[in-house]
Chains A and B, each alone.
Chain A
Amino acid sequence: MGINVYRCLPRFEYFAPTTVEEACSLLRKYGAEAKVVAGGTDLLVDMKRRKSLPRYLIGLKRIANLNGITFDESKGLTIGAMVTLQSVINSVPIRERFGLLSSAALKIGTPQVRNMGTVGGNICNASPSADLAPGLLVLDVRLKLISADGERIIPIADFFAGPFKIAIDEGELLTEIQISIPPPRSKGCYKWVTKRTAVDETLVGIAALIALDTKDNICSDIRLGLGSVSPTPMRAIRAEELLRGKRVEDKLIKEVAVLAAKEADPRSRADYRRRMTEVLVVRAINEPLRNIK
């Protein structure tokens, strides 16, 4: 199973493409025997555990144009797949307009890991407890995937196929994350509790985005992203419907939280995870409400 970590990596052949085209052609050529390496903070650990044994490693660090963060009032936010988690935290537009992503990134790892790990790597590792995923789901982000055959853009909700599985074709590379501006009069946040182990893996992670009507306290939109409580990160669709279009009231928020906990499908520590889902959904809705002007 590999709880233990070998001191050395297994053998592999290494390539350092300088363009996306080169990387995709290598991926196509070597298929299942190849893996791309972004920051290495997940893959290299798996390789040291001998859980992952790619014959070919395709390094992405030398590819230009995957490191950018661009923000535009009309087009929204684009984050290159190789942007590090620390760059997300340092980014002023992200902090000001998409703050729940900054909070989520700050939860991950350590300062060293955040200087190495990437947004694309975190998404594609697809851990059920991944911290960026709930916020990305709530922001309805789109992912740009490029292969030798062309490109496609898919909603992130379609990308998580199972624990550590993504709906990516062999030969495809994630290059960009596209995020539209949230509705006016909206705010979001990310709340979490951890497993209290050495690694502090997230036990329950709740991202919320809530938007209010222009005049009063009618909720024009509510989105809830749940992490670490199901095989893949998920949206609590039915819970959202309870509040959308209704006046915001404590009693209703509590009902939303109870339904979100029911929609969750945790594998282990299920009782506690459902209980904490309820608690965190209430907090995750109330905090942004206090900040909406």
Chain B
Amino acid sequence: MKELIELKVNGEAYQVSIEPWKTLLEVLRETLNLTGTKEGCGKGDCGACTVLLDGKPVNSCLLLAIESQGKDILTIEGLAQGGQLHPIQQAFIGHGAIQCGFCSPGMILSAKALLDNDPQPSEAEVRQAISGNLCRCTGYTKIIEAILAASKTGVNGERI
């Protein structure tokens, strides 16, 4: 029943042997030990399981691992480069946008997808971009501030 598949995660190719009913979320966490991506609701409402698939935010709890082959998968673990946090991660820390941290991986990845497409979004566009990521702790204000701050960091032409 198990099938050998190849998943490209954070720039690395992984060969994993998994059953067809395993979701991408399960394989990331349990087979690849990339536990940064979280399970919240399991049904596509909360966004805690958000990863980027070819740059687009998706709910990994509703993706079959077997159907995620041939795509570039980015998880929260793939953001920091050479020990340096990504500007969005730094902004979240600097602006108090993290309390318990459970929503943060998904939230940060949704923000990255937004800023990669639109480096200078309006506040309304930021709110729309994170509308699929629920936060129980912060009330979203600091999160939105952090994302807007991170977007202005990129103003000198550096892509963030």
Q: Which residues of A contact B (CB under 8 A)?
A: 5-14, 16, 37, 40-41, 44-45, 48, 57, 59, 61, 86, 109-113, 115-116, 198-199
Number of A-B residue pairs, CB cutoff 8 Å, is: 84
- Of A10, A61, A109, A115, most buried by chain B (CB within 10 Å of CB) is A115
Contact string against A for B residues 13-50, beta-carbon threshold 8 Å, 1 for contact and 0 otherwise: 00000011111001000000000000101111101001
20 A-B pairs with CB atoms under 8 Å apart are A7-B39, A12-B20, A14-B66, A40-B62, A40-B63, A44-B23, A44-B62, A45-B43, A45-B62, A48-B42, A48-B43, A59-B67, A109-B44, A110-B45, A111-B110, A111-B132, A112-B57, A112-B132, A115-B57, A199-B45
Q: Which residue in chain A gives the minimum CB-CB distance to B59? A: A112
Instruction: Pick the residue among B20, B50, B64, B128 that contacts A112 (CB under 8 A).
Output: B50
Instruction: Pick the residue among A5, A10, A12 that contacts B43 (CB under 8 A).
Output: A5
Q: Which residue in chain B gives the minimum CB-CB distance to A14? A: B20
Count of chain B residues near A, Cβ 8 A: 31
Query: Hey, which chain B residues are within 8 Å of A44, CB to CB?
Result: 23, 62, 64
Query: Hey, which chain B residues are within 8 Å of A6, CB to CB?
Result: 42
Q: How far is the CA of A14 from the CA of B39 in the complex (A)?
A: 24
Query: Hey, which chain A residues are within 8 Å of B149, CB to CB?
Result: none
B56 part of interface (Cβ distance < 8 Å): yes
Closest 4 CB pairs of A and B: A110-B132, A14-B20, A9-B21, A115-B56
Q: Is the CB of B44 within 8 A of A111?
A: no
Q: Which residue in chain A gives the minimum CB-CB distance to B68? A: A61
* Contacts A8-B26, A59-B67, A110-B47; A115 near B41 (Cβ below 8 A): no
Contact string against A for B residues 110-143, beta-carbon threshold 8 Å, 1 for contact and 0 otherwise: 1001000000000000001101100000000000
